[in-house]
Amino acid sequence: MMKQMLTRWRWPLAVAILLLAVLAFAFWPSPQLVDTAKVTRGAMAVGVTDDGVTRAEEHYVVAAPVSGYLSRIELEAGDRVAEGALIARMTGRPASPLDPRSRKELKASLAAALAATRGAEASLAQARSDLTRAEALAVRGFLPKAQLETARTRVSTGESGLAQSRSEAARLRAALSQPPGGADTGVPVRAPAPGMVLSVITESEGVIAEGTPLITIGDPRKIELVVDLLSREAVRVKAGDRVEVTQWGGTQPLTGRVARVEPFGRFKVSALGIEEQRVNVIVRFDDLLTHEVARLGHGYQVDARIIRWSRPDALRVPIGALFRGADGGWRVFVIARGNAEERIIEVGQMNELFGEVVRGLLEGEIVAINPPGSLSHGASARSR
């Protein structure tokens, strides 16, 4: 009976089984494809990168010593100058030329100041003599302490008055030393040190004010680097940190060390209008790079990376594999035996490429890169 039924319904049963197999295959969960990478061991460094500008270690900005008429500066950038070499000549005039009447008034004032000085000297001598007698009587107990203090006060007052009288006399002498009628005086401007002219700031002749910058002199063979860091980044940098300099024009990075971090910040507004506090970090190039550094000049822009931490054999996981768990800790998805395993790990140092694995992963394990939100623990997954 059963055999007859199977024989009768064999084709419908076969079709039903085939349909069930097709439905099972269609709805069977397929492994999720993810990008993966290996946990590796290798060199890793953490640093701060920012723009830097080169400058001569010793450079001088020569300024106008007086207000007046400046002759044309014939020097050009790149010219070498010796110490004391003539840069330009200025012709100046006193601010207030002395006429005969003013000169007579100054002479009378000077005579009065000299007389006051002589009187102050005599008064001070008498006060000192009185103080000597008062101190002798005070030692023997014949003079009250208040009178002794009064004698000392008279000496102090006399010294102050004498200094004031002498200062006034010196001022009047200086005023009388000006040439009568505003005569012209030529003032040479000379190089304060040997070196090369780095820039000519004021080249053309004309009337300029005292303190106007004229030229910059320095030694371009002795170049240092100034890196302008945010104050919150500068506090993590210390003298002796290694520095790699790129984007300077050569094929290989230049290296150096942090010489010092300046102990003060400067207010600066960024190109985006953000108010910042910036700190200068001074970098000295390695001595072996003298030839390469000589190709740089004063005021060249470069990129500098200050290395705060490095390790040649760090256990590294790509930064794209890391994500935060519900408790705020670091997690990764490890792909093993066709499944995704969410694993808690401990991360040490981090840079733009890798995170240092302190605990939770082994070298050679496969992790998912930028895991999608649909990926969960235990889900079927395989490398794309």
Domain-by-domain residue ranges, the chain? 32-44+312-383, 48-56+220-311, 60-93+184-218, 100-176
Query: Residue 173's pLDDT band (boundaries 50, 70, 90)?
Result: confident
- 47: β partners: 307
Query: What are the residues whose beta carbons fall under 8 Å from the beta carbon of 302, sequence distance 6 or more?
Result: 51, 52, 53, 54, 225, 245, 246, 247, 248, 254, 296
330: nearest Cα among 343, 340, 349:
343
Task: Specify the DSSP class assigned to residue 30.
Answer: P
Which of 172-181, 204-213, 343-352, 374-383 has the largest mean confidence? 343-352
Q: What's the rounded Cα separation, in Å, for the pair 220 and 294?
A: 7
Q: Per residue in 73-82, pLDDT tens?
A: 999 988 999 9
* pLDDT of 224 higher than 80: yes
Q: Determine the pLDDT at residue 120.
A: 85
Q: Determine the pLDDT at residue 182.
A: 47
Backbone phi, then psi, for 340, in 5-degree steps?
-95, 130
Fold of 100-176: Helix Hairpins (1.10.287)
The SS3 call for residue 137 is helix
Q: How high is the mean pLDDT of the chain?
A: 84
Q: Determine the pLDDT at residue 349.
A: 93
pLDDT, mean of residues 373-383: 83
Q: What is the percentage of the chain residues whose pLDDT exceeds 90?
A: 35
- 304: β partners: 50, 245
Which of 316 and 68 is assigned the larger pLDDT?
316
pLDDT, mean of residues 95-121: 79
* pLDDT of 93 higher than 60: no
Range from 55-59, 261-265, 307-311 carrying the lowest mean pLDDT? 55-59
* pLDDT of 66 higher than 60: yes
For domain 32-44+312-383, give its CATH number from 3.40.50.300, 3.40.50.150, 2.40.240.10, 2.40.420.20: 2.40.420.20
Q: What's the rounded Cα separation, in Å, for the pair 73 and 188?
A: 12
Say if residues 19 and 369 touch (Cβ distance below 8 Å): no
From first CA to last CA, the distance across the chain in angstroms is 54
Task: Specify the DSSP class assigned to residue 287.
Answer: G
**Distances from the Cα of 325 to the Cα of 33, 298, 331, 356, 366, angstroms:** 22, 50, 6, 18, 19
Fold of 48-56+220-311: Elongation Factor Tu (Ef-tu); domain 3 (2.40.30)
The SS3 call for residue 152 is helix
Query: Residue 345's pLDDT band (boundaries 50, 70, 90)?
Result: very high
Q: What's the rounded Cα separation, in Å, for the pair 125 and 313?
A: 82
Task: Specify the DSSP class assigned to residue 319.
Answer: G
CA 250, chain centre distance (Å) = 24
Domain 60-93+184-218 has CATH 1.10.8.60: no
Range from 106-110, 215-219, 257-261, 362-366 carrying the lowest mean pLDDT? 106-110
Which of 227 and 18 is assigned the larger pLDDT?
227
Torsion sign (Cα): 267, 270, 276, 282? negative
Q: Per residue in 111-159, pLDDT tens?
A: 888 888 888 888 888 888 888 888 888 777 777 877 877 887 887 788 8
Which of 6-10, 47-51, 191-195 has the largest mean confidence? 47-51
Task: Kindly write down the DSSP assignment for every residue of 208-248, as one continuous string.
Answer: E-TT-EEEEEE-TTSEEEEEEEEHHHHTT--TT-EEEEESS
Residue 303 CB: number of other CB atoms within 10 A? 15
Query: What are the residues whose beta carbons fall under 8 Å from the beta carbon of 125, sequence distance 6 or more?
Result: none
Q: Determine the pLDDT at residue 274.
A: 87
Where helices occur in the chain by DSSP H, the ranges are 2-27, 100-140, 145-176, 231-234, 290-293
